Structure formats: C-alpha cells, structure tokens
Amino acid sequence: MHTILSMCNYMSVSKTRQLLVDVARQLFAKQGLENTTMNDIALASGKGRRTLYTYFKSKEEIYNAVIESELERLSDKLDEVAAKKIRPQDKVIELIYTHLSMIRETVVRNGNLRAEFFRNIWRVENVRKNFDDAEIDLFRKVYTEGKADGEFDIDNVELVADITHYCIKGLEVPYIYGRIAHGMTEEATKPQVAKVVYGALGKLNKK
C-alpha cells in the first residue's frame, strides 16, 4: 500500500510539474521570455505562486525546463527512428531528416521563443548538452551496426558519430530559415543527401 501511495504521489508531482512547464512554454511563445513573469505563469496554470516556487526557484529555471521538455520530444522521436528495422544507411538518413524537421517544428510552434533559441545560444547549449550526448550515442550505435553488417567502412565510430552530430547541428539554423535546398521537397533532396552521406561513410554494399 505504501508503494502504491508513493507512486500516486510521484505521478501527481510529475503531472503538476509538466503542467507548469506547458503553461510556461505557451506564455513564453506568446509574450516572450522577458515579458513573462512568474506571477503570469502561476495565474495561467491555476496552481498559485506557492506551488510554482515549490517546483521552480526562478523564471530562468522554468525556461530551462521548457527547453529540456522540447528536446525530450525530439529525443523520443530519434529513439523511434533508431529502433526501426531498416538498413543502417537508411536509418542514418532518417535520423538526419528527423533531427532537422523536429528542430524546425519546435522553433516554429514556439513563436516568440524562437528568438530565445538563437539570442541566448549559450543558455540553450548548456541545457541541450544531455540531448547532444544522447544523439551522438545513437549515431555510434547505428554506425557500429552498419560496420558489423559490412555497410560502412569506418575506422573510428566515435569520431564519425561526433562529426555527424556537429554537422547536423550546424545545419539547424539555415534549415529552419529555408536557406538549404530552397523550394525543394524533402523527397527531392534525400537522394543527393544520401550520396553525400554514403560517400563519407565509405559504404561498401551498394545493393
């Protein structure tokens, strides 16, 4: 009985915290970070200032939680792709496009939060470190799988995974603003991107 009660309490705490994060995200997106106060978040959530400060000590802390929550959505989607029963080289391409499309979706759906993603890049960088590490680990696993299957000619999986991650990260801003392959559909660009990626990975099996 004690365990069940503990689980119920944990779920209640988790739901309350997520509610506060969701409300804060919507306010940040609508009004911007600077124009949103802790009192605004407390009122909009219907939980009151005491409850809000139980979970978050400052607006900056809840902003970090918003960014973490958005990155968790992206991370979950990448995990889904990595778990697919498809060839390693196809998985790499899908991971790249999933990352970029989800980042763009996140920025677009968050309105004024968009400015904060780029204006305060160091804060975002600090918050997204765990996500970056997890993504690099995903690429390491896919490359290890592909190397074992004879699909990739890779000497150093760790190095190639690092390079892949930072190359994709560098494409985020131009991709969001439509500066890459302007006017082209995703399906139209994939074959060319695949050529570049497969060439870099030293693809052995061209069946």
Q: How many CB atoms lie within 10 A of CB 144?
A: 16
Residues in the chain: 207
| Sequential pLDDT tens for the chain (207 residues) | 445 434 444 445 588 999 999 999 999 988 888 899 999 999 999 988 999 999 999 999 999 999 899 889 999 999 999 999 999 999 999 999 999 999 888 888 887 676 666 666 667 788 888 899 999 999 999 999 999 989 999 999 999 999 999 999 999 888 888 888 777 888 888 888 888 888 888 865 554
Answer yes or no: are the C-beta atoms of 168 and 104 closer than 8 Å. Answer: no
In whole angstroms, what is the distance from residue 200 CA to residue 164 CA? 10
Answer yes or no: are the C-beta atoms of 17 and 45 closer than 8 Å. Answer: no
Residue 150 Cα distances to 88, 156, 197, 206, angstroms:
10, 15, 16, 11
